Amino acid sequence: MIRTVSLLPAATEMVGALGLMDQLLAVSHECDYPAEANQRPRVTHCEIHGKGLPSADIDRWVSEQLQSHGTLYTLDERLLRQLAPDLILTQRLCDVCAPAYGSVAALAQTLPSNPRVLNLEPKCLADILTGIEDVAKAMGYPERAIDIRSRLERRITDVMSRVSGLHRPTAFIMEWADPIYNSGHWNPELIRLAGGKAVLAAEREYSVRIPWEKLRAANPEVLVIACCGQGIERTRKDLPVLERLPGWHQQSAVRNRRTYLADGSAYFSRPGPRIADTLEMLASMFHGEAYGDECSDPRIVQVY
């Protein structure tokens, strides 16, 4: 048994998909899926998590915290020492998504159990699938990833087949609403595979702030608002901010009722096994005719 701690929600989902939750000792404060993760002790803490602050205030706090402290999270060092893990799952792709990798690696070196720190750093869909294999191997069951990857690849191929030859609408995934950020890394690739054309975002690149005037000028045919770390109802609270922007109601995606809310926390900002769900959701938004009914996916909310 490889005694494992996950500091990353996507990694926790991988452990669950692999059927290895019995080896998972503890998780981060954001790990909420599968449900069994909520029964594990939490080894990370974030000062503003769950406080319901306005998005602009969260963005300001994050920027100030990273500049002054280099991380948004604190680690429960005492609990980690008690748990004595053999393996810690984390990432260094984004300091907003998990504790700073350097802090985790430095702490791991001081633990009596001398755990391995596995860095998951996906920038594209293939990296996510490989990450599942890496976790399975690190936890001692490499064969369990074979079927999972195969099933995910079949779902991806099915989406690509369904949308092949159809009109490719321009699309923008909004990762944050106040201020506006695009959604980078794997999401522009998912837009392409789902039969769309990403605007103001490049595959494998970091998410960056986008001035409203640039998004207004790009005028995408489809707009997906999937804020990082936020569910649909929390994201809905940002709509009044967007509606006050000059020209918002004249945007093509708003006028033509092709603006959607989606769960950024569960699907768009979490590079785990549910990434195939994310792809299917996008395809449903872009090409509802290929799925029997436009926006028939219950995980999507059409707001305009």
- DSSP string of 51-74? S---HHHHHHHHHHHHHHHS-SEE
User: CATH homologous superfamily for 4-121?
Assistant: Nitrogenase molybdenum iron protein domain (3.40.50.1980)
SS3 (DSSP) at 302: strand
- 294 pLDDT higher than 60: no
What superfamily does domain 165-302 belong to in CATH? Nitrogenase molybdenum iron protein domain (3.40.50.1980)
pLDDT of residue 296: 59
Question: What integer is the mean pLDDT of 128-154?
Answer: 98
The answer to whether the predicted template modeling score (pTM) of the entire model surpasses 0.85 is yes
- DSSP-H helix ranges across 142-300: 144-163, 187-193, 212-218, 232-236, 239-243, 252-255, 275-286
Q: What are the residue boundaries of the structural domains of the chain, listed by start?
A: 4-121, 165-302
Other CB atoms within 10 Å distance of the CB of residue 219: 17
Determine contact, residues 15/4, Cβ cutoff 8 Å: yes
236 HSE (CA, 13 A, CB side): 8
pLDDT at residue 199 above 90? yes
**Does residue 17 carry a pLDDT above 70?**
yes
Per-residue pLDDT tens over the stretch 84-122: 999 999 987 665 656 767 788 888 899 989 999 999 999
Label residue 66 by pLDDT band (50, 70, 90). confident
Q: CA 94, CA 91: separation in Å to the nearest integer?
A: 7
Mean pLDDT of 202-218: 97
Instruction: Indicate whether 174 pLDDT > 80.
Output: yes
Helix axes 125-138, 144-163, angle to 10 degrees: 170
So what's the pLDDT on residue 94?
Answer: 63
- Which of these ranges, 48-62, 88-102, 115-129, 134-148, has the smallest mean pLDDT? 88-102
Q: Residue range 210-228: average pLDDT?
A: 98
